[in-house]
């Protein structure tokens, strides 16, 4: 992994870091010498990433909380500043969804998916804003999804939320560019994770592979390099308002499952 010297000693918050992309990002940032605040909804789910970071000798704070509530997000920011003195990089990686045809999505399901994927990341960006102003890095990174760009079956609520994240990235980059805050988004395609719907289902996994031009399913580690680049001021000083697709190549048309 490339070394980004300006990240050493800086403070990063990574939400959704108990597993998947968030966990990989948090550990990679610790390897860069960053002080990392890891977050998930429950403390027991953070045990593995805590262990990995401590084995690296990294400084970290585990702060379990539900980012769907703005007061919880403010408490997360306050705890970070109290422990480490500031905030330099924020990675909004928390997310979640479930399969449902549009006509079957309940009010509760709609609000739950939008709250975790769209409202929570906004609350975190808003709460981090005054502290990012004081940072030399000033980097805010959203983890979107290819689902926010291209339609797919069974995820209307998730796709709408991630499309909102992509556009929020551009709006915040426009609004906060005058302060030097860089706001960017990464939209992964199909990524293998512990909760992937194709885990243990070889036939479904092959169907997903067939949708990817490169012919294989991505890993959380495949997202890390882009996150580190966007976190580093030296590597991305003039990059803001962008959405980086990491999806194994463009699809030609819509493939039915």
52: how many CB neighbours lie within 10 A of its CB? 18
Catalytic residue, from 63, 158, 179, 238: name it: 158
Q: What does the block give as tokens for 210?
A: 């067939």
**Is 158 a catalytic site residue?**
yes
Alpha carbon 36 to chain centroid, angstroms? 14
Phi, psi of 234 (to 5 degrees): -65, -35
Sheet holding 35-38, edge to edge: 60-62, 35-38, 11-14, 89-92, 139-143, 182-188, 243-246
- From CA 75, how far away is CA 235, in angstroms rounded? 31
List, by residue number, the catalytic residues. Answer: 158
């Amino acid at each position: 992994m490339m070394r980004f010297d300006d990240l050493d000693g800086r403070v990063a918050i990574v939400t959704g870091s108990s597993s998947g992309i968030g966990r990989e990002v948090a550990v990679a940032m610790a390897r860069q010498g960053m002080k990392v605040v890891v977050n998930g909804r429950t403390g027991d789910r953070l045990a593995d990433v805590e262990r990995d970071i401590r084995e690296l000798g990294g400084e970290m704070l585990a702060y379990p909380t539900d980012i769907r509530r703005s007061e919880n997000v403010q408490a997360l920011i306050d705890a970070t500043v109290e422990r480490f003195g500031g905030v330099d990089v924020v990675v909004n990686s928390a997310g979640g969804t479930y399969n449902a045809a549009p006509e079957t999505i309940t009010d509760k399901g709609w609000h739950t998916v939008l709250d975790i994927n769209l409202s929570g990341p906004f609350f975190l960006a808003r709460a981090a804003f005054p502290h990012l102003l004081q940072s030399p890095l000033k980097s805010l990174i959203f983890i979107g999804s290819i689902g926010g760009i291209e339609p797919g079956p069974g995820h209307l609520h998730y796709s709408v939320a991630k499309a909102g994240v992509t556009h929020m990235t551009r709006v915040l980059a426009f609004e906060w560019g005058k302060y030097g805050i860089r706001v960017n988004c990464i939209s992964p395609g199909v990524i293998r994770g512990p909760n992937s719907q194709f885990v243990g289902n070889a036939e479904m996994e092959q169907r997903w592979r067939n949708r990817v031009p490169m012919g294989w399913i991505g890993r959380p580690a495949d997202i890390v390099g882009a996150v580190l680049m966007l976190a580093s001021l030296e590597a991305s000083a003039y990059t803001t308002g962008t959405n980086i697709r990491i999806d194994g190549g463009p699809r030609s048309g819509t493939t039915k499952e």
